């Protein structure tokens, strides 16, 4: 597909700057920009929970059910036991 676009002076300067920095053609810059924009707009972001679940991190470990509220105490006890001189 061929494109015909009108750019203002600032946009034209930005495009020229990108060309100078990357040594890419206008077509390649537009293709990459379109792909990046498509990813940002059209691709559904994957939630961290979904990624962790898919890779076995969620539900893959056993721990005290109250760990989120008692972790500091448990950590202190564990360190005390590990470093107890007696």
- Domain layout of the chain by residue ranges: 1-43, 46-86
Check residue 85 and give its pLDDT.
64
The distance in angstroms from the start CA to the end CA of the chain is 78
Inform me whether the pLDDT recorded for 59 exceeds 80. no
Average pLDDT, the chain: 86
| pLDDT surpassing 90 at residue 44 | no
DSSP 7: -
Instruction: Tell me which of 85 and 2 has the higher pLDDT.
Output: 2
- The top-scoring range by mean pLDDT among 9-13, 39-43, 72-76 is 9-13
Q: How confident is the model at residue 78 (pLDDT cuts 50, 70, 90)?
A: confident
């Amino acid at each position: 597909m061929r494109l015909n676009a009108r750019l203002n002076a600032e946009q034209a300067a930005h495009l020229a700057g990108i060309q100078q920095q990357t040594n890419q053609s206008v077509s390649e810059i537009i293709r990459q920009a379109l792909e990046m924009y498509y990813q940002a707009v059209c691709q559904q972001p994957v939630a961290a929970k979904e990624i962790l679940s898919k890779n076995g991190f969620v539900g893959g470990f056993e721990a005290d059910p109250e760990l989120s509220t008692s972790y500091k105490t448990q950590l202190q006890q564990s360190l005390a036991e590990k470093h107890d001189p007696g």
